[in-house]
Amino acid sequence: MLNPADIALAKTQSGQRLSDSDAYALTHLAASDTDALCEAASGLRDRVHGSTLTYSPKVFLPVTNLCRDRCTYCTFRKDPGEAGEWTMSPDEIREWSERGRRLGCIEALMCLGDKPEIAFRGFRGLLASYGAESTADYVRIACEISLDAGLLPHTNAGLLSGPEMKALRPVNASLGLMLENVGPRMRAKGMPHQYAPDKDPAARMEMIDEAGRLAIPFTSGILVGIGENEAERIASLLALRRSHERFGHIQEVIVQNFRAKPDTAMAGAEDFGEDQMVRTVAMARLILGEQMNLQAPPNLNPDAHRRLIRAGINDWGGISPLTMDYVNPEAPWPHIEALRETCVAEGFTLEPRLPIYREFINEEFVDPAMLPRLERFQSDLDGAVAV
Ligand code: SF4
């Protein structure tokens, strides 16, 4: 007799949507079932995404590394006056954007700490000197500069309110916020988000849903290996699926693995193992379905590219020829040509994409101010790929 996990796997092979209990049943699969899991996941991916894998050529703009949160694994955040504290000036945003454009980047990733103006009074003065009323307002100005320099912004500025997202929509191709984990346990005493109020999962889900109400193409994902268990990972994927099924706005889901960084409280914690990562990616594909764009960061998994392809990803996320990964400075981006060779060896082509997936480039999901620009970028890219 088949057990519930085998029944769930069989369902995915016949194209059926997994129920919540099917999804949890996958956790009963043994480690020795990972190949079967990957086979089902890659089969599902192939049905819609065929033999194309994508990446987004980007310039990473760390608009400010001030942050009011204190996640115990983070080396990105700084306090005012601490060595390495940095808020990019408008001139720096322009200069980096222009250099990125010259190097063939399309995306300007605006990545920054959460709500620094609430925690640090002095930062408000700096924002005012740049003509901004808040951090989100400064990001809007930065997006305008990057747009003017010929890039397409994608903003991940932490928790944003509805009005803040509304103001950013006309100057962004898409917005993003990692859910990380939907379970409240990560905020408990001694856990990585104890001192990170903006990592409250209910608030993050509310923002993700609100982005849906505002018809904003949205990137989210889960952070794995920070002390959560497999059932909590499944619950997080189901929460993202629920939001997407309600609003249709989640354009991609990232499975991002924890990597321990020196000089942090979690420096001694074990990295998320490769087998676990592969298993989680495959489960994400089975739960999120064939249409979803599923991404795993290649720089955080330098030895697992082939296995991640076999686990059902169809995208590698942003890769920069210019700037490092400021959130994971120890993990260099792969060379595009080396990544392309790996993709080809697995039977796939590797193609650049915009920071908005083509299925979202329409009047429903894009502000009229941005639509012609995005259509032009997509058609230029299609022309370049066809040549
Ligand atoms: S991970 Fe993000 S929210 Fe947490 S401390 Fe670092 S910058 Fe702030």
Q: Say if 117 falls within a structural domain.
A: no
137 Cα–ligand 1 center, Å: 19
Cα torsion 273, 275, 280, 283 to 10°: value is: -170
Indicate which residue's Cα is closest to atom 4 of ligand 1: 71
Q: Say if 76 falls within a structural domain.
A: no
Contact 74, 68 (CB under 8 A): no
State the total domains in the chain: 1
Query: Which residue type, as a one-letter code, is found at position 2?
Result: L
Distance CA 329, CA 299 (A): 10
- For a ligand 1 pocket test, name from 110, 114, 155 the mutation site with the most ligand atoms within 8 angstroms of its C-beta: 114
Distance CA 375, CA 358 (A): 9
State residue 338's pLDDT score. Answer: 92
Q: Say if 59 falls within a structural domain.
A: no
State residue 136's pLDDT score. Answer: 98
Q: Say if 128 falls within a structural domain.
A: no
Distance CA 58, CA 154 (A): 10
What Cα–Cα distance (Å) separates residue 311 from each residue in 18, 46, 61, 279, 308? Answer: 17, 11, 30, 7, 5
What Cα–Cα distance (Å) separates residue 113 from each residue in 72, 118, 351, 357? Answer: 14, 12, 30, 25
169 Cα–ligand 1 center, Å: 23
Contact 153, 146 (CB under 8 A): yes
State residue 230's pLDDT score. Answer: 97
- Within 149-199, residue ranges assigned H as helices are 162-168
Q: Say if 337 falls within a structural domain.
A: yes
- For a ligand 1 pocket test, name from 63, 65, 67, 186 the mutation site with the most ligand atoms within 8 angstroms of its C-beta: 67
Q: Say if 241 falls within a structural domain.
A: yes
Q: Which domain holds residue 375?
A: 18-52+159-386
71 Cα–ligand 1 center, Å: 6
The CATH number of whichever domain residue 378 belongs to comes to 3.20.20.70
State residue 93's pLDDT score. Answer: 98
State residue 387's pLDDT score. Answer: 57
Q: Say if 280 falls within a structural domain.
A: yes
- Which residue from 152, 123, 149, 119 is spatially nearest to 138, judged by alpha carbons? 123
pLDDT in single tens digits along all 387 residues of the chain: 678 888 888 898 888 999 999 999 999 999 999 999 999 999 999 999 999 999 999 999 999 999 999 999 999 999 999 999 999 999 999 999 999 999 999 999 999 999 999 999 999 999 999 999 999 999 999 999 999 999 999 999 999 999 999 999 999 999 999 999 999 999 999 999 999 999 999 999 999 999 999 999 999 999 999 999 999 999 999 999 999 999 999 999 999 999 999 889 999 998 899 999 999 999 999 999 999 999 999 999 999 999 999 999 999 999 987 877 777 787 788 789 999 999 999 999 999 999 999 999 999 999 999 999 999 999 999 988 665
CB atoms under 10 Å from CB of 2, counted, come to 9
Backbone angles phi, psi at 318, to 5 degrees: -80, 135
Q: Say if 236 falls within a structural domain.
A: yes
